[in-house]
A and B are shown apart, each in its own frame.
Chain A
Amino acid sequence: MSNYTDELVDFDTALDRYDPVLGFEVHVELNTKTKMFSDAPNAFGDAPNTNVTPVDLGLPGVLPVVNKTAVEYSILIGLALNCQIAQKCGFARKNYFYPDTPKNFQTSQYDDPIAFDGYLDIELEDGEVFRVEIERAHMEEDAGKLTHMGGAAGRIQGADYSLVDYNRAGVPLVEIVTKPITGAGKRAPELAKAYVAAVREIVKNLGVSDAKMERGNVRCDANVSLMPKGAEKFGTRTETKNVNSLRAVEHAVHFEIERHAAVLDSGAKIVQETRHWHEDTRSTTSGRPKSDADDYRYFPEPDLVPIVTTAEWVEELRGRLPEPPAERRKRLKAEWGYADKEFRDVVNAGVLDEIEQTIAAGASAAVARKWWMGEIARLAKAADKDIADLGVSAATIVELNSLIEAKKINDKIARQVLEFAIAGEGTPSEIVEKRSLAVVNDDDALGKAVDDAMAAMPDVVEKIKGGKMQAIGALMGPVMKATRGQADAGRVREIVMEKLGL
């Protein structure tokens, strides 16, 4: 639901006159076993207010204790973002009254984040690379979840009452804040999407977050401002909150650029405020005014002692870093020999890991791609599932392929066997055995089927004799029918040629 009335200026026109400046705050929920400051389970989807301890409810007398794993994960994120790691840092209290925050303050980091001064090189689709500077990555705790009942749009205004679930309260978060990003021009929306995608990929690759945007594991606040082309002083920014899909990040930046340009063109001023994103209309509406003087009365959290990171600890963690996703992609593309588009499609389908495992299990790069981008992708789409969730193993693909190569089954049967394997009927060999699916390449049986088909279609036979080899295909139908689809098409073709002396 939205009720915006803002005029818009066409995107290209807007950026003929203005330079956009972007900035992102990405919140990453860590997948630690327990919460940031308590030993309550950090789990998604459980009954409301079950994953809570007195600490998470802010009961009188409770004290926080820092989750060491969360600190390690935060350092890993910092290192993966090429940040410096603070030798000593602490927590602060951000004070504000809101019922999703049980203590009425959020324990966060303020002027001494655990990681700072990093960067991330973002490669756009055409290979152009933008360097996004990272200002800081700091630790904090998530708030509870409010559900506003009655009233409009699920917002607190006008609601009859609100329900609060503190299961999420205290879940560890890392907030990654960029420095202002200039120079993206018309590629700003594209860069926005690519940046958030890169952050999501990094935290997933590190294994420190489930990284599911639809579950709010990765959440983005997008800051946009415009300044006249060539200007140096940044314009007033707006912050579009909780843009929670990659497409939405791209659209939100696109929309705000068009909206800002219209406001500036009219001679009015941009109001510094938060904006709400509306997926249905792909537009933003005004949230609450925000000024740099918002007073959260930060002060050092007196219930916690400073976190000291020794060089040995940081280096030990650095040693745990997996290969960065961008470098890995470059390596795999070269190793596999895929064309640019082929490789991009594989990346977009999210099956790099699967293909890598399939090749490791013995398949060729071409065979692995054929299966994962072909039949498996089709089945996933039909089942409305992620490819990874179909449960197809690399071993299944390798076995299917060797059955085909040994001419025990043909492609068509192989696809059926795959479906049976997904349904849990066993390994491909077991399925072929159990269901008697082995192809018929017994020349006597095939020869008879070919004779019958040729007798039934003399015109086709004439065409073949006349040199129209593709007409052989017309014989294939009856032959397959006669053999219940289990004929080896290659062998059928050979038999036809032999019989016609070609």
Chain B
Amino acid sequence: MNELIKLSATELAAKLRAGEATSVQAVQAHLDRIAEVDGALNAFLHVNAEEALAVAAEVDAIRAAGGAQAEALHPLAGVPIAIKDLIVTKGQPTTAASKMLEGWMSPYDATVIEKIRAAKLPMLGKTNLDEFAMGSSTEHSAYGVTRNPWNLNRIPGGSGGGSAAAVASFEAPLALGTDTGGSIRQPGAVTGTVGVKPTYGAVSRYGAIAMASSLDQIGPVSRTVLDSAYLQELIGGHDPKDSTSLPNPLEGLVAAAESGATGDIKGLRIGVIKELTGEGYQEGVQARFNESLELLKAAGAEIVEVSCPNFKYALGAYYLIMPSEVSSNLAKFDGVRYGHRVLPEESPMTIERVMGSTRAAGFGDEVKRRIILGTYALSAGYYDAYYGSAQKVRTLIQRDFEAAFEQADVLVSPTAPTVAFELGANDNDPLAMYLNDVATIPANLAGVPGITVPGGLSENLPVGIQFLAPAYEDARLYRAGAALETLLEKQWGHSLISQAPAIDTASIAQEA
């Protein structure tokens, strides 16, 4: 394994700045790694080698020339990044892992992509996901499952399993994800990586293909807390194209991560959410969680227990609000203007029938399930009972958070109730699949930020620890997250990800 790919984004950036490596070398090393292991993992749907190398060469040339232009380079310039294929990019296909958009090329860039281009991060390609980000396992991609680098028979989480697996397997030091109910954090947890769902509105959603508009948020995926802080500062800020984006950028994220990394968290009040522990959480997950609490306590944090009694309704409310918005957001995929078009087998060839046969063929089962649920929930006569009640629950959950944040600066819970389950384990039980997001969903419903950091292993699989902070207080996540990361690594003597087993590409090649 080339040493360059083992570095964190921040370490790699420092090496590039110091002239100890070139961006072309870094990008090539990651492309080589993708060539080596992605046949087994299937983290990437598209590899963007040519453009990535060109951007890297441009950065190298600027650095070599020196002067003001080199000085003005973004700290992450030249550090490669992978993009979840829910985010539209010019020059690369965007599929949302759906047959519906097979071969579709966006004529415009998402705002986060514009920022990444401006900062000159070479884009390695587009990563796999559950179709239209609907799922917790990346098994619902129209282009095949992504495998967990820790165990190829396990799921990498979802929907952003591709981004998490790419970062966990050293195919990329950074990636972008999107998080509607946990799609950044749960994959982060089960792959032993870091993932952040920023405050709703902190990062522009323009160009992220909408799943549930009031819940969706783009965020960073990385191997260290500091790397995510750098990436969020890069992609965040107000966007006039997104009415729901915050008026001012959230600042001090990198500084907060650096301060947390000293391990000093004296006086930080950490609230343990009573409702997100215990029953339903695997013993090993619970054990790692308790150990993390002990470490934080020993480092001077004040651990308090808080109760969020309405969290027990969060999953139910989520599975009404999210599908309702899905049913409307995905209506545009009808074969009329772009994407897949399937003509009905029999006449008459009416527009309704063309739309119908296109949607029947273009969408997978999970997407259809949610469209049908949402269409029903919004129907006249049911709206108040379903969508209306769910919105009330949402308000109650926000109040639970407000009350909890009066007692604590940050809240903490396991990120997911279990370690990565086996591929196919929940094929016939969507409800069991939905339960994976029980700890991550409340943050989306309330719009507050959340981070997952690696908390150790159970059954040789990673466990994630989640911190939650009040809206706009993303910096607190980076401080608490970096502190726990430092404390755990000091205890272990190494990072968790460095313990990941070698990827047995041969086993998958044989299967295929």
User: Which residues of A line the B interface, CB within 8 A?
Assistant: 54, 57-66, 93, 95, 97, 99, 102-105, 156, 162, 164, 293, 295, 297-299, 302-305
Contact = CB atoms under 8 A, between A and B. Distances in A.
Contact of A104 (B205, B331, B378, B387): B331
Contacts of A105: 328, 331
Contact of B380 (A54, A61, A295, A304): A295
Contacts of A95: 327-328, 331, 378
A97 B240 CA distance: 29
A304 B205 CA distance: 12
A299 B378 contact: yes
B210 to A, nearest CB: 7
A59 B351 contact: no
26 contacts: A54-B107, A59-B107, A60-B88, A60-B96, A60-B101, A60-B333, A61-B110, A61-B207, A61-B210, A63-B210, A65-B243, A95-B327, A95-B331, A95-B378, A99-B351, A104-B332, A105-B328, A293-B380, A297-B328, A297-B379, A298-B378, A299-B324, A302-B244, A302-B325, A303-B244, A304-B244
Nearest to A297: B378
Contacts of A293: 380
B351 A54 contact: no
Contact of B355 (A65, A66, A97): A97
Nearest to B245: A63
B244 A305 contact: yes
Given A62-B206, A162-B351, 6 more contacts: A60-B88, A60-B106, A295-B380, A302-B214, A303-B213, A305-B243
**Pairs A-B, 9 closest by C-beta atoms:** A104-B331, A297-B378, A302-B213, A302-B214, A61-B207, A60-B209, A61-B88, A58-B332, A295-B380
Nearest to B96: A60
Please tell me the size bucket of the interface on B: 35 or more
A61 B206 contact: yes
B334 A104 contact: yes
B268 interface: no
Nearest to B214: A302
Nearest to B207: A61
Contacts of B327: 95, 297
Interface in B103-138: 104, 106-108, 110
B186 interface: no
Given A61-B207, A297-B327, A304 B243 contact: yes
A297 B380 contact: yes
A211 B210 CA distance: 37
B446 interface: no
Contact of A295 (B212, B328, B336, B379): B379
A66 B240 CA distance: 10
A105 B110 CA distance: 22
Nearest to A296: B380
A103 B331 contact: yes
Interface string B60-96: 0000000000000000000000000001100000101
Contacts of A156: 351
A190 B87 CA distance: 56
Contacts of A66: 243
B208 interface: yes
Contact of A63 (B212, B243, B324): B243
B208 A64 contact: no
Contacts of A63: 205-206, 210, 241-244
Contacts of A298: 378, 383
Contacts of A62: 206-207
B48 interface: no
Contacts of A54: 107-108
A235 to B, nearest CB: 24
Nearest to A66: B243
B108 A59 contact: yes
Contacts of B214: 302
A202 to B, nearest CB: 30
A264 to B, nearest CB: 29
Contacts of B243: 63-66, 303-305
A156 B350 CA distance: 9
B495 interface: no
B375 interface: yes
A97 to B, nearest CB: 6
Contacts of B351: 99, 156, 162
Contacts of B210: 61, 63, 303
A303 B216 CA distance: 10
Interface string B364-404: 00000000000100111001000100000000000000000
Given A54-B107, A95-B328, A61 B209 contact: yes
Interface in B327-379: 327-328, 331-334, 336-338, 351-352, 355, 375, 378-379
Contacts of A60: 88, 94, 96, 101, 104, 106, 209, 332-333
A54 B105 CA distance: 12
A42 to B, nearest CB: 18
A141 B457 CA distance: 54
Given A63-B241, A63-B243, A103-B332, A297 B375 contact: yes
Residue among A57, A59, A99 facing the most chain B CB atoms (10 A cut-off): A59
Contacts of B328: 93, 95, 105, 297, 299
Nearest to B380: A295
A299 B209 contact: no
A64 B332 CA distance: 14
A65 B110 CA distance: 15
A52 B352 CA distance: 24
B434 to A, nearest CB: 21
Nearest to A55: B241
Contacts of B206: 61-63
Contact of A65 (B240, B333, B334, B383): B240
B312 to A, nearest CB: 24
A298 B379 CA distance: 8
Contacts of A64: 243
A355 B365 CA distance: 69
B118 to A, nearest CB: 18
B219 to A, nearest CB: 16
B302 to A, nearest CB: 37
